[in-house]
Amino acid sequence: MKNYTSFLFISRKRNTMHRISLSARLLKVLSIIGASILSITIALSVYNARVLFAEYDIRTNAHDNAILLEKLDSLRTALHCFHSDFDEYIAQDNRQRTFWGIECIHPDIWLMGIGGPDIKKPQSNLSRQANAMLNDIYASIDILKNKSYLRKLSLRELNDKIENKIYLWAHVPSVHPVPGRPLGSGFGYRVDPITKKIKMHWGVDIGAPRGANIHVTADGVVSSASWHGGYGLTVEINHGFGYKTRYGHCQRILVKKGDVVKRGQVIATVGNTGRSIAPHLHYEVHVSGVKVNPRPYIDVSDVVFN
């Protein structure tokens, strides 16, 4: 006797009942078909889901790539702006070097790159467009590095030059030794006030009250601070670079031989010592051993620099 399995289908709405009887073999075949359909459906659903995710990834990557290319382009533009700014610094560098008598850096040298292991190395996994942008950016950065390095060296050279100039200027007599007092009897032949004979006057006389401060006119070292014949109490300063100054007829000397003095420092007071008929300062400037007219070396604005 065959084994059957019966299924009852009852419809309450129509108040009917249907009965379907299936043999065990048919039921097994139907079960296999149903399981196969279910498996195929699940596999297709998984495949579709993976395709959907892949499409989403592709769309996202394409969007990211577009944004990255846009950012690279912005970066390239920003670097070009830096180059434009640097052109201003190069022009300034040229002006400064010309002013200080230093040869300008050749324009081609400014545009040289320094280079390095990663410069202009193509990335095989990037598009040609992205590679071109990256190469341009690398080249720009390379040239900027060179410009920055050259500017740093140039500034150092300019600074050394300026410091040397400032050092030299500090040692050149250039201010009034008794600020505010008018210049009297000058450099040249004149009637000597004591002998009444025509005689060369090797300095400039500056009338001032006894005790008025005498300022040294440049940085230097006291080479002599003592009585000096007709000059009376005298201070002599060696400023280097061939410059020396002499301050005669002092009342008091406030420095001693070997002292280092700074421009504007008070070194003595006005007096009437030696061959002098009234309190005044006899001021001399010597250049390379030759006594010269001090007037061009006196700042008429009476400013005393510290």
Binding site for Zn ion (CB under 5 A): 203, 205, 282
Nearest distance from C-beta of residue 149 to Zn ion, angstroms: 57
CB closer to Zn ion out of 171 and 215: 215
**C-beta separation of 218 from 171 below 8 A:** yes
Closer of 244 and 282 to Zn ion (Cβ): 282
Q: Which residue is nearest to Zn ion (CB)?
A: 282
Closer Cβ to Zn ion, 179 or 184, answer by number: 184
> Distance from CA of residue 266 to its chain's centroid?
38
Please state the closest distance from residue 201 (CB atom) to Zn ion, in A: 6
Minimum gap (Å) between residue 196 Cβ and Zn ion: 15
Which C-beta is closer to Zn ion: that of 201 or that of 239?
Answer: 201
Nearer to Zn ion, 160 or 192 (CB): 192
Q: Which is nearer to Zn ion, 203 or 232 (CB)?
A: 203
Smallest distance from Zn ion to CB 205, Å? 4
Q: Which of 247, 234, 239, 229 is nearest to 283 (CA)?
A: 247
Q: How far is the CB of 293 from Zn ion (least distance, A)?
A: 13
Give me the least distance between CB of 102 and Zn ion, in Å please: 42
